[in-house]
Amino acid sequence: MPQYAVLIYSPAPADPMELTPDYVALLEQYPAKVTELGGQILTGFALQPSTTAAAVRGDLVTDGPFIEAKEVVAGFFVLEAPDRETALKIAKLNPATIHGGVEVRPLFIAPTE
């Protein structure tokens, strides 16, 4: 089954310690919705706030995320879904779409010879 990276974007600094109880309740319901649509979350991680990030460009290291933006990457997970359309349906149900958004990208599989 195809696998997708789902990147979660939230308003900066995207501090997971500031999630409201209502939002946490939505997050807890999400895996069941994923399963109902035929998908499976293989692994996922929440990130520390963007204020803890460091960006590296060549020899230069700067504090903060790689790109300055109102929304930052707050987490990601790997989703297994039957097809892209299902992966997008699953992404649309993610609570992050309420105040931020998600990005769905197929994982690259190196061609075999």
Give 3-24 pLDDT, tens digit per residue.
Answer: 999 999 999 999 999 999 999 9
The pLDDT tens digits for 39-83 are 999 999 999 999 999 999 999 999 999 998 999 999 999 999 999
Check residue 113 and give its pLDDT.
84
Per-residue pLDDT, averaged over 94-111, amounts to 96
Residue of 98, 42, 102, 97 whose CA lies nearest to 73? 102
Q: How far is residue 2's CA from residue 83's CA, in Å, rounded to a whole number?
A: 6
